[in-house]
Amino acid sequence: MFCTPFAPRISTTNRVLRRASVARALVACWIGASSLFVAPPATPHEPDAEEIALGSLVDAELAFARMAAQQGVRAAFLANFAPDGLALEPEPVRVQQVWRSRPAPADPLAIHLDWKPAQAGVARSHDFGYTTGPFTLSTRAQPQTVRHGTFFSVWQRDANGRWQVILDAGTSSPEAVDFAALGASPRPAFRGHAGAAVARRDLLALETRNGESSLAPNDYAKLLADDARLHVNGEPPLASRGAIARSIALRTRRIGWMPIGARVAKSADMAVTWGRYEATGRDAQVRRGHYAHLWLRDRAGEWRLAYDVALP
Enumerate the domain spans of the chain: 12-182, 196-311
> What contacts 226, CB < 8 A, 6 or more positions away?
240, 241
Residue-level pLDDT at 125 = 97
Rounded Cα gap, residues 105 and 238, in angstroms: 35
Within 10 angstroms of residue 57's Cβ, the number of other Cβ atoms is 24
Residue-level pLDDT at 40 = 53
Residue-level pLDDT at 224 = 98
Q: Does domain 196-311 have CATH number 3.10.450.50?
A: yes
Same fold, 12-182 and 196-311: yes
Closest CA to 151 of 51, 203, 250, 77: 77
Output the pTM of the full model: 0.87
Q: pLDDT, tens digit, for every residue of 217-261? A: 999 999 999 999 999 999 999 999 999 999 999 999 999 999 999
Q: What's the CATH number for 12-182?
A: 3.10.450.50
Average pLDDT of span 273-278: 97
> What contacts 52, CB < 8 A, 6 or more positions away?
126
- Chain-centroid distance of CA 140 in Å reads 27
